[in-house]
Chains A and B, each alone.
Chain A
Amino acid sequence: MLPMRVAKRQEPLGYWGSCVVLSVALLLSLLLSAGMLAIRGTPPLEGILTLFRGAFGSPWALEDSILKAIPIYLCALGVAVAFRLKIWNIGAEGQFALGAIGATWVALSFPDWPKFALLPAMAAMACLCGGFWGLIPALLRQKFRANEIIVTLMLNYVAILFLDYLVYGVWKDPASFGFPMTPVFTDGAIVGKIGTSSINWGLAHCILLGLVIWVFFRFTRLGFEVKASGDNVRAARYAGLPYNRLVVLVLVISGALAGWAGFLEASATVHRLQPSIMVGYGYTAIVVAWLARLNPLAIGFAALLLAGLRVGVESLQLDLQVPAAFGGIIEGLVLLTVLAGGLFTHYRLVWRRPG
């Protein structure tokens, strides 16, 4: 018998209590990660410090982390919309790819359009394509009750191979020496940088779209229906909420947001489409969405944290020769500890009384 047992709280843990639990969970995951560093003979404290310095320790490091956080944020925002309804969209990666493909198609087809027309057209096409990639699992779930986890995941592989097919084939830049990449976009197709910083206007898109999603859940009837149905499917069905249509809605929104991220990544950072655009933002987004408890503002912080992790790991490699896979370890550990810490929202530990 364990000396402690769990007991239900009268009321869910408050704001400050949750912060304490979260901090303890993060600290625990960092400790475990430091242990992993020690196993390979890397000084753990120095390693963790290098990681943080590399991520947030200088102006340009911070800029890099913010840049990386942009696509992660949008993907995570999308994932969070679906998770609200307890629809497990693991397909942000594929929807991101489709968005990049859609935006690229517009950029390559109408290179002479002025910026004010071309960029919105690219964004719209990206949303359309990403949304379409979200629509497929939604329809398959609705018509055939096919599990959306598997369908969205398999569609990721398909989307990436489709992107490969395009850049290795029809879209290959004749000037690229046969390497798989499209021509560089024209100026009109590029989302520019904010002032003299290296951060692009995608940051503004994030804030705007984050606000839209927040308003959607906070103030619109549809948003309320999604939340209510997510909390209790059966009750929602009894109340006559159109559950099936909501599934389609959230997956399309989810896909469109990931598609927008793909548009930004192609337009603002890479300036072309190439296979290396796919670096797993869509999977990191799932971690981010869950860490932030699906809250648009918190997603911002979580996205920055995990983007910083990706950037910081590079310094860790450069200075201490730690393999790149270390980032995955921290990511997994953070998610697991925070998940476990969630117990304390509704429960507390009490000592067993002897006898």
Chain B
Amino acid sequence: MKVLQVLAVLLLLVMAGTVQAAEKELKVGFVYVSPIGDAGYSYAHDVGRQAVEALDGVTTSYVESVPEGPDAERVMLNMARKGFDVIFATSFGYMDPMLKVAKQFPDIAFLHCSGFKMAENMGNYFGRMYQARYLSGMVAGAMTKSNILGYAAAFPIPEVIRGINAFTLGAQAVNPEATVRVVWTKTWYDPATEKEAAKSLLDVGADVIAQHQDSPGPQEAAEEKGVYSIGYNSDMAPFAPKAHLTAPIWKWGPYYVKVVEEVRQGNWKPESAWPGLAEGIVDLAPFGAMVPQDVRDRVTAKKAEIAAGKDTIFTGPIFDQSGAVKVAEGVAMTDAEMLSMSWFVKGVVGTTE
């Protein structure tokens, strides 16, 4: 009898313990490569973080401007020691540091953005931004009169190059004459330089400006010149109401919320997630009033096609800048090939260095 009583008490205690554990605040940490004040890439992630913060029983924190390499390792170690339960690292160079930290803290869920390495408690994720880029390229290709599209590009890394290629293929799908001129600024957020880059593209005859940097500088240049522009990251229409056709945009929130909920429920498993238009992690901003209905219809139809998985965009035949076949007819590029893309498709004017 006494034994039973003791057992009952013990059971109660254990239950109380688990209840308490369930009620414990889940701590979620984010590591950003640039200041969230960049209004772009890190900012988009931070908007996603705020969606997580809004959940009940979850607190979030972040460290911004963390250089890739040993600094990142230290920051993640710090988070782990401070008892964070989920850690998101949002830049490619955080991959190896995160792997090291993940091995030391098996109970913490680690998620790395834009890489490919995994561990038992580390998954990776990214968004198929190139799908939205392709759609924006279609819009640009339909709207250009000079057949020269200008692309203010950030750094020559695969994500940017893939975006330029998808944009070009999209433009050529509606306008085979379209070419894309690329100017590298080697900046993520320097409005003055990026606006000047856009102007230099306008000077050589471009009449639609697209961009990969995070500042609306290029949008301003297009607005002042009275030509069209394609934004990036978020709807940039307020900065260039007369020029802004549309913009490929990020929506991290739903994905982050999903992962955090999974961890809380205890059914999170590391995976390589690369969601796209279908999952809504990337999207197209609303069309500007100047985009004619037939273009809208065509793009919307394509969007449905891509979301349904009927068009993977990077399916051959695809030619490189010299005109040689890079992807044979009917062959689709693998995710790994797309993630490491470092060459331009035919129709792009510029270098990848």
A and B touch in the complex (CB under 8 A): yes
Which residues of A are in contact with B by a Cβ distance under 8 Å? 54, 60, 64, 67, 161, 164-165, 168-169, 177-181, 269-270, 274, 276-277, 279, 311, 314-315, 317-319, 321, 323-325
In the complex the two chains form, is A178's CB within 8 Å of B157's CB?
A: yes
Q: Is residue B137 within 8 Å, beta carbon to beta carbon, of the partner chain? A: no
Chain A hits for B69, CB < 8 A: 269-270, 274, 276-277
Q: Across the interface, which residues of B come within 8 angstroms of A165, CB to CB? A: 353
Q: Which of the residues A270, A277, A318 comes within 8 Å of B78, measured between beta carbons? A: A318
| A-side interface mostly | helix
B63 & A323 in contact (Cβ 8 Å cutoff): no
Q: A318-B29, A319-B61 are in contact. Are A279 and B67 (CB under 8 A)?
A: yes
Q: Which of B37, B71, B161 contacts A178 (CB 8 A)?
A: B161
8 Å CB contact of A179 from B66, B81, B93: B93
Closest B residue, CB atoms, query A63: B74
**CB-CB < 8 A to B67: which residues of A?**
276-277, 279
Tell me, rounded to whole Å, the shortest Cβ–Cβ distance linking A104 to chain B. 14
State which size class the interface on B falls in.
35 or more
Q: Does B105 contact A (CB under 8 A)?
A: no
Q: Is B313 an interface residue (CB 8 A)?
A: no
Which residues 60-82 of B have a CB within 8 angstroms of A? 61-71, 74-75, 77-79, 81-82
Which residues of the partner chain A approach B81 to less than 8 Å between Cβ atoms?
60
Asked whether, in the complex, the Cβ of A323 is within 8 Å of the Cβ of B353, the reply is no
Cβ contact within 8 Å between A318 and B68? no
Q: By the criterion CB–CB under 8 Å, are B158 and A323 in contact?
A: no
Q: Which B residue sits closest to A181, measured CB to CB?
A: B93
User: Is B116 positioned at the interface, with any CB of A under 8 Å from its CB?
Assistant: yes
Q: Name 5 extra pairs, CB < 8 A, besides A277-B67, A315-B78.
A: A161-B186, A181-B93, A276-B67, A318-B61, A318-B63
Residues in B with CB closer than 8 Å to A325 are 35
Chain A residues with CB under 8 Å of B158's CB are 177-179
Name B79's contact: one of A64, A164, A318 (CB within 8 Å).
Answer: A318
Instruction: Say whether B342 faces chain A, with CB atoms less than 8 Å apart.
Output: yes
Q: Are A323 and B161 in contact (CB under 8 A)?
A: no
Are B29 and A317 touching (Cβ within 8 A)?
no
Given A178-B340, A274-B68, the answer on whether A311 and B74 have CB atoms closer than 8 Å is yes
A319: B residues at CB distance < 8 A: 61
Q: List 14 A-B contacts (CB under 8 A).
A: A67-B70, A165-B353, A177-B116, A177-B339, A178-B157, A178-B339, A179-B92, A274-B93, A279-B71, A311-B74, A317-B61, A318-B78, A321-B61, A324-B64
Q: Which of B302-344 contact A (CB under 8 A)?
A: 339-342
In the complex, A276→B91 CA distance in Å? 12
Query: Is there contact, CB below 8 Å, between A180 and B157?
Result: yes
What are the residues of chain A within 8 A of B62 when measuring CB–CB? 317-318, 321
Q: What CA separation (Å) do A305 and B216 show in the bound complex?
A: 39
- Asked if B156 is an interface residue, CB under 8 A from chain A, the answer is yes
Interface string of B135-147 (1 = CB under 8 A from A): 0000000000000
A274 to B29, CA, bound (A): 25
> Are B37 and A177 in contact, CB atoms less than 8 angstroms apart?
no
Residues of chain A contacted by B341 (CB below 8 angstroms): 178
B155 adjacent to chain A (CB < 8 Å): yes
Residues in chain A near residue B186, CB distance under 8 A: 161, 164
How far does the Cβ of B88 sit from chain A's closest Cβ, in whole Å?
14
Q: Which of B's residues lie within 8 Å of A, judged by CB?
A: 29, 35, 37, 61-71, 74-75, 77-79, 81-82, 92-93, 115-116, 155-158, 161, 186, 339-342, 353
List the A residue with the shortest CB-CB distance to B36: A323
Which of B35, B66, B69, B340: most chain A Cβ within 10 A?
B69
Q: Is there an interface contact between A323 and B77, defined as CB atoms closer than 8 Å?
A: no
* With A177-B116, A177-B340, A314-B63 as contacts: A169 and B353 at CB distance below 8 Å: yes
Complex contact B35–A314 (CB within 8 A): no
Q: What is the CB-to-nearest-CB distance from A249 to chain B, in angstroms, rounded to a whole number?
A: 33
Q: How far is the CB of A322 from chain B (nearest CB, A)?
A: 10
4 smallest A-B Cβ distances: which pairs?
A177-B340, A178-B158, A178-B342, A276-B68
A64 to B74, CA, bound (A): 8
CA distance A270 to B71 in the complex (A): 9
> Are A324 and B65 closer than 8 Å at their CB atoms?
yes
Closest chain B CB from A238 CB (angstroms): 49
Name the A residues within 8 Å of B74 (CB-CB).
Answer: 64, 311, 314
Contacts of B64 in A (CB 8 A): 317, 323-324
- C-alpha spacing A250/B92, complex, angstroms: 40
A180 to B186, CA, bound (A): 12
Measured between alpha carbons, how far is A143 from B71 in the docked complex, in Å?
42
Closest to B62 in A: A317
Q: Which residues does chain B contribute within 8 Å of A60, judged by CB atoms?
A: 77, 81
Report how far A251 CA is from B92 CA in the complex, Å. 37
Please tell me which one of the listed residues B70, B75, B79, B156 contacts residue A270 in the complex, with CB atoms under 8 A apart: B70
Chain B residue at smallest Cβ distance from A269 = B70
Instruction: Give bound CA distance, A276 to B95, whole Å.
Output: 14
Tell me, in angstroms, the Cα distance from A323 to B37 when the chains sit together.
Answer: 9
Known contacts A276-B67, A315-B78; is A168 also within 8 Å of B156 by CB? yes
Given A277-B69, A317-B63, A324-B65, the answer on whether A179 and B35 have CB atoms closer than 8 Å is no
| B residues less than 8 Å from A64 (CB atoms) | 74
Counting chain A CB atoms within 10 Å of each CB, the highest count among B61, B79, B116 belongs to: B61
Residue of B nearest to A174 (CB): B340
Closest to B92 in A: A179
* Bound CA span A248–B37, Å: 43
User: From residue B133, how far is it (CB to closest CB) to chain A in Å?
Assistant: 17
- Nearest-CB distance from A316 to chain B (Å)? 10
Could you say which residues of chain B place their CB within 8 Å of the CB of A179?
Answer: 92-93, 157-158
CA distance A161 to B68 in the complex (A): 18
- Residues on A with C-beta less than 8 A from B339 are 177-178
Chain A residues within an 8 Å CB radius of B92: 177, 179
Contacts of A324 in B (CB 8 A): 35, 63-65
For A177, what are the chain B residues with a Cβ–Cβ distance below 8 Å?
Answer: 92, 115-116, 158, 339-340
| Bound form: Cα–Cα A180–B64 in Å | 21
> Complex: how many Å from CA A332 to CA B6?
64
- Chain B positions within 8 Å of A270 at CB level: 69-70
Complex CA gap A165/B61 in Å reads: 35
State A133–B78 Cα separation when bound (angstroms). Answer: 37
